[in-house]
Chains A and B, each alone.
Chain A
Amino acid sequence: MPVMTYRQALNETLRQEMHRDPNVLLMGEEIGVFEGSYKVTAGLLQEFGPKRVLDTPIAEEGFVGMAAGAAMIGLRPVVEIMTINFSLLAIDQMVNHAAKIHYMFGGQAKVPMVLRTPGGGGVQLAATHSQNFEVWYAYVPGLKVVAPSTPHDARGLLRSAIRDDDPVVFLENLALYNTKGEVPDAADDGDYTIPIGTATVAREGRDLTIIAYSRMAVLAMDIARRLELEEGLKIEVVDLRSLRPLDRPTIIESVKKTGRAVVIEEGWLTYGVGAEIAATIQEHAFDYLDAPVKRVAGVEVPLPYAKVLERAALPNDKHLLKAIRETLYGTRS
């Protein structure tokens, strides 16, 4: 199987979907001439022209709403928001409009659009450019929210998102764009999709379950591998892949097997994804738990610029290791 970066997987998938369906078009700031802030749309303006790769003005609410409206009569816009931080300017169109139109009008209009946007911090972009707002969208019935962690899943989920008839928030991550992984090509299962709303057991184990998504799922996989090599521990990793709908059965089944769970997310702790998962586990697998569910998350401050402060505020392998040890051996700090 060919190996490619997360960025390449996205870029090729966009290209393939645009070839497959003339109603698929791209919209966003600096995605054409500039080829995207993170170059995900590189080469696409050249290949498809300005009609299908639309450089929009800096007007997030306007062009996200325009995409939703265009979707209502049959286009399938894929909108790029430069980072998830800027999506807040468009959140009314996503939450009050895109998410509501199908339901509120009794199923008469669909909104098949994708909002692609990277989140996350760690590269000294300071307080307003390093946040994780996917949970705001995941809160909203009517939206679908996916957050792939590998090039393979990025491709499969982007295909599903573009072909889906509902508004999908597609979360990317700045630190993942250059990560590499195997992605099936045409010779294998070239046209695979990944069903939205399904998690995956990315690594099987029996001692403890780590539940994560996006970049933190990559971190979880690294730690699980390391702990097996160094200590012989069998850690199971559930990669959520979708935040809405949330695949509760996969989480519950895994925790029933391992009896221990750690949830890690890059965003802030309070009201976060970890809170939802910990609640789900205690509601459905309480009797199977051998230890309290642990949450690892970002420190609750506006992310500072200085490297030393930024590093102290973001969850990393040490935080995860500490939580795993406490959950396995009951030690308290």
Chain B
Amino acid sequence: MTKTANVEPATLSLAVSSDPVENTTYITDFRDDDPAALRSIYRTMLLTRRFEERTGEMYTKAKIGGYCHLNLGEEATVVGLMAALKPEDYIFTNYREHGYILARGVDPGRIMAELFGKDTGVSRGRGGSMHLFDIETHFMGGYAIVGGQIPLATGVAFALRYQARPGVVVCQMGDGTTNIGAWHESLNMAKLYKLPIIFFIVNNGYGMGLKVENGSAEPELYRKGCAFRMHGERVNGKDPIAVRNAVQRLRLMAQDHGEPAILEAVSYRFRGHSVVDPARYRDEEEVRRGREDDPVLRFAQNLLDAGILTDEMITTMAAEVEQEVAAAIDFANSSPDPQIEELFTYMYASPVANMPGPEDALEAARIARGEF
């Protein structure tokens, strides 16, 4: 089920529904869908679930440092979105991005290696959990200054249009990000310049601990583009097919008609803001309801009911995914650290006079070890 805010602001009603976990219907009629594609969506959801669970575990074992934010509970939102994208499309995300890059088909081993800070990681160990990147698949990075990715994503959409190239940009962002000035500046320019971009809001109900309605005077976030006459929709983010279908539609509107759009997926994160957050600001009943409606289990059930999955298939997939994630952890564990000589290596793309080099890096390392 989707709600839409059409481009004419005058036609909007003022009715506000701010419950982020409101009951929504699910698509259960899969007759028009390719069963293999549906099974693949389920498998990727399962992979995301297991990857994130094991990532949380690796964090508690201190294999992963810094901040670490998981997609647990958001699998339908993540995988539904990614299933709608074409190879020529670009995606920008915030710092809660492990699932998106997995769903883009990047090797889980290289993703886990990045979380471990290894040289084999997707960002060669320079970025970590919040800064995954893969140029080959147009995965344009996880960004951790809230909203920082939005003008950049708008810029890639601008370049696509400038160079008359096919494809769209998806700019993923959180609910709290809709309060940032850069978003409103970008909405204005996206609409003004007719850019092929979808602003994809994952509304999981909370910024860190701040409820959506306590941070946004307009809690129906999909309507916040009205000032720019931008189309907006809300979709059930626990239904991967609803998300995918909405993105597919908006994608064509953006690519073929230069109509950017906002899509708000109402989702729920199972855990705290980051792995170290016990999330005491959410009441128990809400968390129970949120977790009870598990998008991975529900989608499995829907596919079982439709005869697209069997129990055997689920068991086999679970075993494969378990193995795949275990292999990713093994790969990360056995990968080398980045070379200290390369401390300055990626500082500049064009070599420049008077910048530090490998000797300076080694010198810095020697001093850090107390060798002076």
Contacts and interface: CB of A to CB of B under 8 A. Distances in A.
B321 to A, nearest CB: 27
B159 A69 contact: yes
B86 to A, nearest CB: 16
Given A25-B162, A73-B156, A57 B189 contact: yes
Contacts of B150: 65
B353 A69 contact: no
Contacts of B155: 65-72
Given A72-B140, A107-B349, A198-B354, A62 B135 contact: no
Contact of A70 (B158, B181, B192): B158
Given A107-B349, A247-B354, A249-B354, A61 B182 contact: yes
A79 B24 CA distance: 46
Contacts of A57: 185, 188-189, 192
Contact of A62 (B125, B126, B127, B186): B186
Contacts of B154: 62, 65-66, 69
Contacts of A101: 141
A65 B346 contact: no
Contacts of A196: 352-353
A17 interface: no
A141 B152 contact: no
Given A97-B145, A104-B126, A248-B354, A65 B182 contact: yes
B96 to A, nearest CB: 17
Which of B124, B131, B141, B162 has the most chain A CB atoms closer than 10 A to its own CB?
Answer: B162
A92 B148 contact: yes
B133 A62 contact: no
Nearest to A89: B181
23 contacts: A62-B151, A63-B185, A65-B151, A65-B152, A65-B155, A66-B155, A66-B189, A67-B155, A69-B151, A69-B152, A70-B159, A70-B162, A75-B159, A96-B145, A97-B148, A101-B141, A104-B126, A105-B126, A106-B123, A109-B141, A142-B347, A166-B350, A242-B354
Contact of A59 (B134, B185, B355): B185
B163 interface: yes
Interface string A101-135: 11111111111100000000000000000000000
B153 interface: yes
Contacts of B152: 65-66, 68-69, 72, 93, 97
B133 A108 contact: yes
B189 A108 contact: no
B345 interface: yes
A289 B32 CA distance: 83
Contact of A165 (B145, B157, B162, B349): B349
7 closest Cβ contacts across the A-B interface?
A69-B155, A65-B151, A62-B185, A106-B124, A69-B152, A197-B353, A165-B349
A144 B90 CA distance: 27
B348 interface: yes
A245 interface: yes
A246 interface: yes
B141 A93 contact: no
A65 B211 CA distance: 28
A246 to B, nearest CB: 6
A198 to B, nearest CB: 5
B133 A166 contact: no
A182 to B, nearest CB: 24
A102 to B, nearest CB: 5
Which of A68, A70, A141 has the most chain B CB atoms closer than 10 A to its own CB?
Answer: A70
A330 interface: no
Given A105-B127, A106-B124, A93 B151 contact: yes
B210 to A, nearest CB: 21
B331 interface: no
A195 interface: yes
Nearest to B145: A96
Which of A71, A107, A142, A246 has the most chain B CB atoms closer than 10 A to its own CB?
Answer: A107
B353 A198 contact: yes
Given A62-B186, A96-B145, A105 B123 contact: yes
B353 to A, nearest CB: 4
Contact of B354 (A74, A111, A246): A246
A67 to B, nearest CB: 6
B200 interface: no
Given A59-B185, A106-B124, A93 B159 contact: no
Given A62-B189, A198-B354, A102 B159 contact: no
B143 interface: yes
B131 A104 contact: yes
Given A69-B159, A109-B135, A103 B151 contact: no
A110 B135 CA distance: 11
Contacts of A245: 352-355
Nearest to A77: B155
A56 interface: yes
Contacts of B158: 66, 69-70, 75
Interface string B87-102: 0001000000000000
Nearest to B138: A73
A196 B352 CA distance: 6
Contacts of A74: 159, 163
A51 interface: yes
A93 to B, nearest CB: 6
Given A75-B162, A97-B148, A107-B346, A247 B353 contact: yes
A213 B90 CA distance: 41
A73 B354 contact: no
A64 interface: yes
A225 B154 CA distance: 51
Given A101-B141, A109-B135, A165-B349, 10 more contacts: A59-B188, A62-B186, A63-B151, A63-B185, A97-B152, A104-B123, A104-B127, A105-B135, A107-B124, A110-B349
